[in-house]
Copies of this chain bind each other. A is one copy, B any other.
Amino acid sequence: MTSDIRTLAKKVSGGDRRALARAITLIESTRSDHREQAVELLECLPPGGSATVRLGITGIPGAGKSTFIEAFGLYLTGLGHRVAVLAIDPSSPRSGGSILGDKTRMEELSRHPDSFIRPSPSGGTLGGVARRTREALQVCEAAGFDVVIVETVGVGQSETAVFEMVDMFLLLLVPGGGDDLQGIKKGVVELADLLLINKTDGDLVAAALRAERDYASALHLLVPLHPGWTPPVIKVSALEGRGMDEVWAAVEAYRAALGPEALATKRASQSVSWMWRAIEGELMDRFKAHPAIAPRLSEQETLVAQGKSSPTLAAGELIKLFFAQGPS
């Protein structure tokens, strides 16, 4: 345990924002020495107590996630909560940029003393990004943020990653999605503990009512994720800041319905899947760096590229080599 890491940990626990930012930067670094320091840091930070609230939120692009988080976050700081917002967004394979990286989309909240907003780590696989976000979540809780909101985009695999690191999963919907209930239902809606129909304002009010009915009836077709909790559907207007009190009331009702034991059980099984994500990431890093593999990689890649070997075959060759040589 190096002393500067211990110092950093102390500062983080003391709520030092600069230290928090530095800690997360350390966690997000791909340098192996940074990784070791990050593991040390996580070791000497207290595990998040169940007193904290971990919320995941997703919705298709255009659902108004950022607007909602800004409005909801400001409402919570008004109640005296300290709110951290993290994002999971596997970066674009082309730009390497982060969709959710644009802080200006939550301008007021990002300037608030009781809030901390961190864009998605850019680069890397979903697994890697999720792993670093999950560790950042632990650090935020250690820094005294009692509500952590993890935002993600899309209807893809990233929902599962977020679902696996939060107590409660919120799905932000927009009016008009009703016609596709069938398509959404099995995917993401069934992960949701709470459905929000956003943009319940202007000329979408009628459509919002329809959507509310459609989703509410669809939810009854699902086996509840937790006995004693049927995901409610709440109409909100992030733009006008309406419904935030109802949303928070639903969050508290959910925690009461589950009770501390069920919540603890949920976090326990989540930790196990996080362990698996960490193993996968580490295995691939070791594989690529293995002395018996590294020099052969480009050769095999060339054979595959030239069609002289198939991806399945080449993968088999390298795997054989990896295990034949034993540990590095």
| A interface with B by C-beta (< 8 Å) | 39, 42-43, 47, 60-62, 89-90, 92-95, 97-99, 102, 126, 134-135, 153-160, 163, 176-177, 179-180, 182-184, 186-187, 190-191, 223, 225, 268-269, 271-272, 274-280, 282-284, 286-287, 300-301, 304-307, 310-316, 318-319, 322-328
Contact = CB atoms under 8 A, between A and B. Distances in A.
Contacts of A280: 280, 283-284
A243 B126 CA distance: 36
Contacts of A95: 186, 190
A223 B92 CA distance: 13
Nearest to A102: B182
Nearest to A126: B157
Contact of A304 (B98, B275, B316): B275
Contacts of A94: 190-191, 223, 225
A113 B112 CA distance: 63
29 contacts: A39-B312, A39-B313, A61-B177, A61-B184, A62-B177, A62-B179, A62-B184, A94-B191, A95-B190, A97-B186, A99-B183, A126-B157, A157-B157, A268-B305, A268-B306, A271-B304, A271-B311, A274-B304, A274-B312, A275-B301, A275-B312, A275-B315, A278-B311, A279-B284, A279-B315, A279-B319, A282-B319, A283-B284, A283-B287
A278 to B, nearest CB: 4
Contacts of A90: 156-157, 160
B319 A61 contact: no
Contacts of A323: 286, 327-328
Quickly give the copy total for this chain.
Answer: 2
Contact of A274 (B135, B157, B158, B311): B311
A311 B89 CA distance: 21
A300 B327 CA distance: 21
Contacts of A154: 154-156, 187
Contacts of A42: 310, 312
B313 A43 contact: yes
A322 B92 CA distance: 33
Contacts of A99: 183, 186-187
A158 B159 CA distance: 12
A292 to B, nearest CB: 11
Q: Output the residue of A98, A156, A284 with the most chain B CB within 10 A.
A: A156
Given A153-B156, A278-B311, 14 more contacts: A47-B310, A61-B155, A90-B157, A98-B186, A126-B157, A153-B183, A154-B154, A154-B187, A268-B305, A275-B311, A278-B312, A279-B284, A283-B319, A325-B327
Nearest to A300: B275
A150 to B, nearest CB: 15
Contacts of A60: 60-61, 155
Nearest to A270: B311
Task: Pick the 4 closest A-B CB pairs, nearest first.
Answer: A156-B156, A62-B180, A154-B155, A278-B315
B313 A190 contact: no
